[in-house]
A and B are shown apart, each in its own frame.
Chain A
Amino acid sequence: MATKSMGDIEKIKKKLNVLIVDDDPLNLIIHEKIIKAIGGISQTANNGEEAVIIHRDGGSSFDLILMDKEMPERDGVSTTKKLREMEVKSMIVGVTSLADNEEERRAFMEAGLNHCLAKPLTKDKIIPLIN
């Protein structure tokens, strides 16, 4: 039991590399702080199109992508589909509003998400996913 707990703690301490995709500057600041608090490092994109460009140009590799759903230029559904077409293997977690209905969430998941979380994001919501 002690060994399993130590393993979990080590996993969290390993530098998680995260891309945060959101058009809300407030969310970007908060989500960056959350990732830092759980021992990760992060990069941000203000919309889906920027996220695609980051992958296309930089050849970046992220452990986790936090993907907002509603964004200008390119929304979360379209971006997720595009990244999966580009064979991006990162865990992509969709971030939705509680107001989104089941159909909208399902469409988002079907675009290629690994998980979907409702706002607001907290450490407690993210940690179980990266374990």
Chain B
Amino acid sequence: MQRQVALIKQSLFDQGYLDEQFIELEELQDDANPNFVEEVATLYFKDSARLISNIEQALERGSFDFNRLDNYMHQFKGSSTSIGASKVKTECTMFREYCRVGNAEGWQDRRGPRRLHVGPSNTGTDQ
């Protein structure tokens, strides 16, 4: 089981989903906080779900409030940076650039018809 977990984790690093910041978090885990990484990951997924829901609702309203969307992406990028979720961080940067130049088409093209999802059962940003 542990070997499987290690292989999955390595795969996430190899595919660029995780970066060295995740290793920093693992190194902070100790006997006093043996579940630190799990706690951080759980909080990240909860927070991500909230932000993605907010973004989806904002998009479903029809008009693009780029300031609001940029604010959500800023938060999402911040927490993704802190946990080492590298690909998510990169996507957030892209979306923020679209907000900066008011590119609604870019948003829609990048997002596509699929709903965004980040969760423990899905290592990617798209479902």
Contact assessment for A26 and B44 in the assembled complex, using a CB-CB cutoff below 8 Å:
yes
Shortest distance from the beta carbon of A40 to any chain B beta carbon, whole Å: 13
Partner of A30, one of B28, B47, B74: B28
Shortest distance from the beta carbon of B101 to any chain A beta carbon, whole Å: 14
Interface size class for chain A? 10 to 19
Interface flags, A20-37, vs B, CB<8A=1, else 0: 000011110110011001
CA distance A27 to B40 in the complex (A): 9
Give B29-46 interface residues, CB cut-off 8 Å to A: 30, 33, 36, 39-40, 43-44
Shortest distance from the beta carbon of A21 to any chain B beta carbon, whole Å: 14
Question: How many A-B pairs fall under 8 Å by CB?
Answer: 48
Q: Which residues of B contact A97 (CB under 8 A)?
A: 74, 77-78, 81
Contact assessment for B28 and A33 in the assembled complex, using a CB-CB cutoff below 8 Å:
yes
CA distance A23 to B40 in the complex (A): 16
Partner of B36, one of A33, A119, A122, A123: A33
Query: Is B82 among interface residues, defined by CB-CB distance under 8 A?
Result: yes
Shortest distance from the beta carbon of A39 to any chain B beta carbon, whole Å: 13
Contact assessment for B96 and A33 in the assembled complex, using a CB-CB cutoff below 8 Å:
no
